[in-house]
Homo-oligomer: A and B are copies of this chain.
Amino acid sequence: MRSQKDLNIGMIGYGFMARAHSNAYRRVNNFFDLAYRPNLKAVCARDEGKLKAFADTWGYASTETDWRKLIARDDIDAIDICVPNDLHHPIALAAARAGKMILCEKPLSRNAAEGLEMCEAVEKAGVLNTVWYNYRRVPAVTLAKNLVAEGRLGRIFHYRANFLQDWTISPDLPQGGTGLWRLDAAAAGSGVTGDLLAHCIDTAIWINGPITSVTAMTETFIKERKHTLTGQMQKVGIDDACAFLARFANGALAIFESTRYARGHKALYTFEINGEHASIAWDLENLHRLKYFDHADESIVRGWRDIHVSDGDQPYMDKWWVPGLQIGYEHSFVHQVADFLEAAAKGENAGPTFRDALETTRVCDAVLASAASGQWVTLG
């Protein structure tokens, strides 16, 4: 085992994502041999009671109630941004100015304008940065990326992805406030586009290269919901569903769809890639499996292979248990932390950087613009 030095983490937020990241920080050194050891130095939020409980549960050494104070502390090396999307921009700008590494929850920002300023801030400051598009680090997804990168699929003809949920079908669900800010356009920036399609787009660009044009439609099925903060029925500003057609720079055609009204799907992120020689398919509700079809297989015994991604020669899996024993959702965050720390030890970024994530936000913006205009939108 290598000798290790602490990387002092300052976490902002205590919600679902703050738990997932904290868990990753605490576990990574048990499984990965790294030069850095994350040290949970401080956590910051406004609600002192919940903040204290969170700090106790996860072992944060201290708390702050003002993120500006957290950023100002000398004993913090890295800021982790786990707050609603509208706060990513001001916090990232301040953290960059303070010379902190930044690990920002996805999406990077509510829109590309904010995102561009964030990119410029971290690049100008020269601080390491990443955005938590964690699904890249599901082993099956990393394997898919590798198979495409090795050219096994040949020319890519088709990419299709969707992210289907069903948790907002009830009109009685309010918008806004803790746990429900994703339904509030002011806080979230958009609905499923920034929340769910952003994941699909990030993976797609990572595996298949730039998207060059899109045409989209969006819908808000429930037009008004009570707002948690005001207690009033208010117009719903987010997109409940979004679908778009796209073309990639490599000539592939794509369809993307996301909704929170797909009864029966809790968190079904799926993608499939069809190439000249082979095809790949994956879904989040069976994240430990990859489907693979290789046309080179002998004809009479050719079929989609159902790969149980749990062997030591598959991405990240030598770090965990033994073949046949599956890992889960949370491990994708551990992998991202491991890669971040490994690269950080060399002074490098591991990706996706803010700049990578900006590309995804630009596609999201194009999608929303197309849905509004009814026109194809070309990405420069």
Contacts and interface: CB of A to CB of B under 8 A. Distances in A.
A231 interface: no
Interface string A273-291: 0111111000011111010
B30 A23 contact: yes
A264 B244 contact: no
Interface string A300-333: 1111111110110110000011111111111100
Given A157-B261, A305-B305, A306-B306, A311 B299 contact: yes
A232 interface: no
Contacts of A29: 57
A94 B82 CA distance: 50
A266 interface: yes
Interface string A246-263: 010001010101010111
B259 A157 contact: yes
Interface string A131-163: 000000000000100010000010001101010
How many copies of this chain sit in the oligomeric assembly? 4
Given A57-B30, A217-B247, A267 B147 contact: no
B310 A157 contact: no
Interface of A: 1, 16, 20, 22-23, 26-27, 29-30, 53, 56-58, 143, 147, 153, 157-158, 160, 162, 164-167, 169, 215-217, 219, 221, 241, 243-245, 247, 251, 253, 255, 257, 259, 261-268, 274-279, 284-288, 290, 292-295, 297, 299-308, 310-311, 313-314, 320-331, 374-376
